[in-house]
Amino acid sequence: MTNRVPDGLLKKIDVVIGTRPEAIKMAPVVAELKERKNCTVRIIATGQHTDMLTQALDYFSLFADVNLGIMKKSQSLDYITSAVIQGVGEVFDDVRPDAVLVHGDTTTTFAAALSAFYRQIPIGHVEAGLRSEDMTCPFPEEMNRVLTDRIATWWFAPTVWAEKNLLREGVCRNKIYVTGNTVIDALYSTVEKNSPPKAECLKQLVDQERFLLLTAHRRESWGKPLESICSAVLEILKRHGEYRVLVPMHKNPSVRETMRGVLGGDERVILCDPIDYPDFVWALSHCTLILSDSGGVQEEATALCKPVLILREVTERPEAVQNGSGILVGTDSCRIISEANRILSDREVYDDIRKRCERNPFGDGKASVRIADVLLQE
């Protein structure tokens, strides 16, 4: 069962976001909708991640019309889910929108979609159809996106592979729109500005020709798996002494404790707080190799022709692996070290990966235009 597509033009669209990645990926969509006539857009921020979300919105000159501010210390998944359902529901009841847009696979995404579904408000799912086929990896994101797709009205699939997943699950073909991924819209617009880095942790890398970028935060990697990742990084630095590594640490205490414990004693490791999006794009653009368990980074790395070691056993973005830009290594230190050494030691291997990246399957920077066209029937 899905919510009925409304007759006529949509006039009031609510965009619900809760985390920094959602803000970055939905900002181009919001900007495009605001450019269209006869359409008002309301941004509802749940505050699942407070500081990082606001930081991202500020960069795109956007602000939350409503901020639920649900974030609290050691928040559980069931707390986030219930707080978002109730909080967003009250906002919908106050001023009912014609449609609700959610993005991807966060707990905010699923809970906001469920709240809209309870009120029979049509739901547009941006980045629909991604599947790892493993409900435990990534956790709980795989469950969130599967359930959100079950109750959506419009499915905005970033790739043909995502579209095939939806068709296999019984979604009506004429309600699936292959748009490309909106993160590529945000990335290209940021690269075009070519801004120098502002964060102090990056200024020491401006003249550094060779550095690695590490991001890791997945819940399933907390503890021993993350220790293994960090130990592998130290070994890579030992074998390739000309490199440094930049590590913007997620604010989760479990992640930061492990990273500081393993990596904190090496002067070649730059541990820092999360950096602004334009600074992060600078780091992506200038590093030699990326190690990450992030989904979006797999797409960004491919678009920037950078090899990325995917610190997971499975990925919902197999296009990166098939394209050759992404290499699944999991969290086993031996596999991470082996692949990093292969790429960093052989220029032909490195150049071959970069060449394959030229066939970017994730979009052309115009996904937001396509989404707005569908919603506003232009």
pLDDT at 378 over 60: no
pLDDT at position 341 is 97
Q: What is the pLDDT of residues 2-11, one digit of tens each?
A: 555 555 567 8
Based on the residue annotation, tell me whether 35 is a catalytic residue of this protein. no
Which domains are present in the chain? 12-181+363-376 (3.40.50.2000), 199-357 (3.40.50.2000)
Query: CB of 232 within 8 A of CB of 337?
Result: yes
Distances, alpha carbon 174 to alpha carbons 153, 161, 178, 254, in Å = 11, 16, 11, 44
Smallest CA-to-CA distance from 130 within 75, 178, 94, 175 is with 178
* pLDDT range class, residue 1, cuts 50, 70, 90: very low
Please identify which residue in the block is written with the tokens 């050759």. 324
Q: Does the annotation count 217 as an active-site position?
A: yes
105 is catalytic: yes
Give the model confidence (pLDDT) of 111-150 as tens digits. Answer: 999 999 999 999 999 999 999 999 998 899 999 999 999 9
Residue 127 falls in the annotated catalytic set: yes
Q: How far apart are the first and last CA of the chain?
A: 26
**Measured over all CA atoms, what is the biggest interatomic distance in the chain, rounded to whole angstroms?**
63
Say which of 20, 145, 250, 317 is annotated catalytic: 250
Q: What is the pLDDT of residues 242-277, one digit of tens each?
A: 999 999 998 888 899 999 999 998 999 999 999 999
In three-state secondary structure terms, 111 is helix
Catalytic residue among 49, 103, 145, 217: 217
Q: Of 22, 32, 141, 319, which residue is the catalytic one?
A: 141
Average pLDDT over residues 155-170: 98
Q: Is residue 364 annotated as part of the catalytic site, yes or no?
A: no
242 is catalytic: no
Give 67-76's long-range contacts (Cβ < 8 A, gap of 24+). 68/44, 70/46, 71/47, 75/48
Tokens 């359930």 belong to 147
